[in-house]
Structures are given as structure tokens and as C-alpha cells.
């Protein structure tokens, strides 16, 4: 049975509030999402937050009913998620949520470190005044989330930073590559992170990146990003060894 329209609208609002880039708006000011983009965002959110757990078998037909969308946009969304290594499409066998591989995550970080340090420096140089204001607001939000240990707010502002930084850097190639890597990293983080222990420190690392970009300090943006990536690398190594 199809979910009611209000449930679907709530789910879409929930994803949009998570910091994803806004699509074009209609003349009436309403957000216009393609059905494929809607399916992608909803499914990516479910996978990253473990609502669809690693190893879970997926049915295109069941997902279509659950999301209230046709099978074609769901199929296209799953193909995109497969390209991002979040699902595995097995011919004649079905679709499975990809497992979490710590060794692969370390390889993801090798690429992210290079791209993000450079992108942070470029964003500090190229960000528009409106983008700088957004970075400043994100920095404040991250700092507040850290001080109150609000994990949900931290995730929301972290995602906003992940989306805004590549856009402000102005390099569409780096942006495309980072978008593929961020879903894997957020899912790994969500799965392993001990919510209370290090949240103030982690939020502070993120806030330092956003603040330095807002202030246009290229060197500090690169340093702050390097410190953040080193922390994530060490955290991932500890998971592997521990």
C-alpha cells in the first residue's frame, strides 16, 4: 500500500533539512525535485543512517511502493548509488546494500585528504559573500552542537559543510569526486562513531574549517582541513586495529 502523501512530504522535508544543495525553484518559489533526485536523496539518507543496513537485500518494487515513486526513478537512483559504492546491483540476483569495509574507507580517505585540503584553500579564496556568510553560520552551528553534544545537529551542519565547501571551491570535477566519497564516509562515521566521547572535539575541527573559509584565510583553511583529515584517518585506523 502506498504511503500517504503527507508521509512522503515529511520524508522529503527531512532530507532537504539535512543540508543537501537546493534544486531550482518554480516561479511560485516551491522546490522542484525530479523524481529520480527525490528517490536518490531518500535512499541515500536511509543507507547512510543505517535504516537500510549493510547487507540488506532491496527490492525495486518494494522501494517504489515505500517511497511513493515509480520504478524508473527508483531504478535510476539505485544505479547512481551503485556508482557511489553504496549498493551492489547483482544481475539476476537482486540489489544489496554494500558492506562497510574499513580498508576501503582508508583508501577513500587517501583521496579525500588531497581533494578536501585543496578545495578548502580554494573555497577560502573564491567563496562569494553569501557563501562566506553561510560558512560563518555553519561554524557557529557546529560549535553549538559540540558544546551541547547534539549529535543530530552536528550531522546536519556537517552535511551542509560537505555540500557547500566543494561548491565554493568552484571546481566541478573535485565537487563530483567528493560527492561520491562523502556518502561512504558519512555512513562509516555514523556506524562507528561513539556519539558522546569525542563530539566536542570533532565539531571543533569542523567549525575551524568553516570559520577559516568564512574569513578568507587560505592557509588556515588548508591547515584546519589537514587536522580534520588526520583525526579521521587515526579514528579509522583505530577501528581497523581494534
- If asked whether residues 136 and 217 sit together in one domain, one would say yes
Q: Last residue of some domain: 52, 78, 97?
A: 97
- If asked whether residues 16 and 120 sit together in one domain, one would say no
- If asked whether residues 237 and 123 sit together in one domain, one would say yes
pLDDT confidence of residue 17: 42
Conformational region of residue 149, where left means phi above 0, alpha means psi within -120 to 50, and beta covers everything else = left
Distance of CA 187 to the CA centre of its chain: 8
CATH number at residue 74: 1.10.10.10
- If asked whether residues 115 and 85 sit together in one domain, one would say no
Average pLDDT, the chain: 86
Which tens digits make up the pLDDT trace of 95-134? 999 999 999 999 999 999 999 999 999 999 999 999 999 9
- If asked whether residues 210 and 115 sit together in one domain, one would say yes
Q: What's the whole-model pTM score?
A: 0.78
- If asked whether residues 108 and 128 sit together in one domain, one would say yes
- If asked whether residues 116 and 197 sit together in one domain, one would say yes
- If asked whether residues 154 and 41 sit together in one domain, one would say no
Q: Last residue of some domain: 50, 71, 97?
A: 97
Segment 43-64 shows an average pLDDT of 92
- If asked whether residues 48 and 107 sit together in one domain, one would say no
pLDDT confidence of residue 165: 95
CATH number at residue 123: 1.20.120.530
pLDDT over 70, % of the chain: 85
- If asked whether residues 156 and 111 sit together in one domain, one would say yes
- Is residue 190 predicted with pLDDT exceeding 80? yes
Write down how long the chain is. Answer: 242
Give me the half-sphere count of Cα atoms (radius 13 Å) on the Cβ side of residue 96: 10
Assign 197 a pLDDT band (cuts: 50, 70, 90): low
pLDDT confidence of residue 49: 86
**CA-based angle 154:159:161, to the nearest 5?**
95
Which tens digits make up the pLDDT trace of 55-75? 999 999 999 999 999 999 999
Which tens digits make up the pLDDT trace of 130-167? 999 999 999 999 999 999 998 889 988 998 999 899 99
Split into its structural domains, the chain has a count of: 2
pLDDT confidence of residue 71: 92
- If asked whether residues 48 and 91 sit together in one domain, one would say yes
Which tens digits make up the pLDDT trace of 6-30? 444 444 444 434 444 444 443 333 4
- If asked whether residues 81 and 136 sit together in one domain, one would say no
Q: Last residue of some domain: 66, 97, 128?
A: 97
Burial 29-44 (b: 16+ CB within 10 A, else e): eeeebebbbbbbbbbb
Write out the residue range of the structural domain in which residue 217 sits. 102-241
Amino acid at each position: 500500500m502506498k504511503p500517504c502523501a503527507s508521509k512522503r512530504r515529511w520524508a522529503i522535508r527531512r532530507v532537504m533539512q539535512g543540508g543537501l544543495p537546493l534544486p531550482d525553484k518554480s516561479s511560485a518559489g516551491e522546490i522542484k525535485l525530479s523524481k529520480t533526485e527525490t528517490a536518490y536523496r531518500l535512499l541515500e539518507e536511509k543507507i547512510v543512517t543505517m535504516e537500510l543496513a549493510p547487507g540488506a537485500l532491496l527490492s525495486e518494487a518494494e522501494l517504489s511502493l515505500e517511497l511513493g515513486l515509480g520504478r524508473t526513478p527508483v531504478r535510476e537512483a539505485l544505479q547512481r548509488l551503485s556508482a557511489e559504492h553504496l549498493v551492489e546491483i547483482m544481475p539476476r540476483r537482486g540489489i544489496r546494500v554494500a558492506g562497510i569495509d574499513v580498508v576501503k574507507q582508508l583508501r577513500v580517505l587517501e583521496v579525500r585528504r588531497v581533494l578536501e585540503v585543496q578545495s578548502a584553500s580554494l573555497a577560502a579564496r573564491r567563496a562569494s559573500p553569501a557563501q562566506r556568510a553561510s560558512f560563518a553560520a555553519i561554524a557557529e552551528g557546529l560549535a553549538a552542537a559540540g558544546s551541547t553534544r547534539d549529535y543530530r545537529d552536528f550531522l546536519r551542519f556537517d552535511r551542509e559543510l560537505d555540500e557547500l565547501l566543494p561548491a565554493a571551491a568552484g571546481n566541478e570535477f573535485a565537487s563530483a569526486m567528493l560527492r561520491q566519497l562523502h556518502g561512504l564516509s558519512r555512513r562509516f562515521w555514523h556506524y562507528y562513531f561513539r556519539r558522546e566521547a569525542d563530539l566536542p572535539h570533532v565539531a571543533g575541527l569542523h567549525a575551524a574549517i568553516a570559520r577559516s573559509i568564512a574569513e578568507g584565510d587560505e592557509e588556515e583553511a588548508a591547515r584546519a582541513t589537514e587536522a580534520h583529515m588526520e583525526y579521521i584517518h587515526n579514528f579509522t585506523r583505530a577501528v581497523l586495529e581494534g
